[in-house]
Structure 1
Amino acid sequence: MHEFGQYDTLLTELHKEDQRGYKIYLRFTADLFQEMIEKLTPRLQKQSTFMREPLQVGLKLAATLRFLATGNSYQSLQYSFRVEASTNCMFIPEVYKAIIAVYKNEVLRCPKTEEDWKEVAARFSSRWNYQTVWGLWTESTSP
């Protein structure tokens, strides 16, 4: 049934005809989305059974990205992607965990030195004009 949802229809059309729209819809370029599918597939791909075929990793990722981008409910995603809400609530947390596991060393880097922390605080202050972050952090972590 999911063949009639946004993953198989809208995203296919956007990929062919409107790359800007594709990026607006998923918040990712088609190339980055495909790269993510390739990296996440070993963690997310399920086995086929005699009862049914598993959901495609791309569909799971697209639904998760829409969930994050829009804050839509699992019920709303059910109609957009033609996947039961109860199934969405099972795989979306799995996709979160897979993204973190696959990308944490590449994207998420925890500062190790005081200078690194000061750099993070300075960038945060510069971007958000919120200067007390470093002070709050040092007060809450000092012995």
Structure 2
Amino acid sequence: MCFNSCALIPANILLQTDRASRRQRRYWVHPLLTQRGTKGHFASLYQDLKNHPEKFVAFCRLPMEAFDRLLELVRRDLTYQDTQMRKAITAEERLLITLRFLATGESYASLHLQFRVGKSTITKIVRCTCSAIWQKLQPIVMPSPTEDTWQRVAAGFQDVAKFPNCIGAVDGKHVRVLQPAHSGSKFFNYKKFFSIVLMAVADAHCKFVCIDIGAYGSTGDSRVLRTSQIGMQILRDGVTLPAPQPFPGTTHPVPFMMVSDEAFPLMPNLLRPYPRR
């Protein structure tokens, strides 16, 4: 008697076995990745770029001196221990990969081939490095505004624009993103692409004073401001705002205010233009 032994095995088990065999890794480390120490961008370009500061700026959009200062701030968070299996990626290379990603917007697949680092590894590097940069730099370059902060901003608008009692210009910016999974139309904005909203307040010199990031692209600027920390803590509560003071040459006290476009509502601390109609 002759029979096919496979007929006794359920079809779903055969399918799972076939998928498992196809999922088996061909390499423990891909041959391209083993060349990271000799042919990767960090190994072949980093030292040369440091010898040519103008090219360094063109590569990562950051002066070499600023790169070194930033590296010292985040080095401890980006330093990992070598193991018997492999040598850890250095803090310098992690920072360079992240800055190159932020400067160019290149895909992880492209950076993977340039730096000879795995795509999943680059994903983790960019996320961890960005988090470390924010934790170290936020208290230095963008601390929570205080009454003194608003006084300095108001003085800047008075000097540059002759606009008294102005503590900033507020507006929203749509930052294009790929559609997040299972998000429906939440991130689809009126400009017909997927985005998150960056709500920011800028001073008279176009520098950010405070920001709020992450609102759905489908949400209007007015609602984003109303539900953001800027709207709830600064414009509504007014905890950090200076007390109203008169305009130059007058005696009636006027509240400090932000300026915006006509997409925003009129509030005691928010000034907007007259409607077009």
For the aligned pair, the TM-score class normalised by the smaller chain equals 0.7 to 0.9
Figure out how many residues of one structure are paired with residues of the other and give that number: 138
Match of 1:8 in 2: 43
TM-score by length of 2: 0.44
The correspondence of residues 1-143 of structure 1 with structure 2, limited to 5 A, is 1-3=35-37, 4-16=39-51, 18-113=52-147, 116=150, 118-121=166-169, 123-124=202-203, 127=206, 132=260, 136=264
**Partner of 1:120: helix, strand, or coil?**
strand
CA distance in 1, matches of 2:265, 2:127: 29
Whole-angstrom distance in 1 between the partners of 2:205 and 2:106 = 31
Counterpart residue type for residue 100 of structure 1: W
User: 2: CA distance between counterparts of 1:57 and 1:138?
Assistant: 48
- Say what the alpha-carbon RMSD is for the aligned residues: 3.0
2:128 maps to amino acid: E
- Structure with the largest fraction of helix: 1
Give the whole-Å Cα distance in 2 for the aligned partners of 1:64 and 1:137.
39
Distance 1:115 1:54 in 2: 42
The structure with higher relative contact order (CA 8 Å, sep 6+) is 1
| d(CA) in 1 for partners of 2:168, 2:144 | 10
Q: Which has the larger radius of gyration?
A: 2
Percentage of pairs with the same residue: 25
User: Whole-Å Cα distance in 1 between the matches of residues 53 and 146 of structure 2?
Assistant: 39
**Which structure is higher in strand share?**
2
Gaps of 5+ in 2: 1-34, 154-165, 171-201, 208-258, 271-277
> 1 CA distance for matches of 2:133 and 2:265?
27
Rounded to whole Å, the distance in 1 between the matches of 2:110 and 2:75 is 25
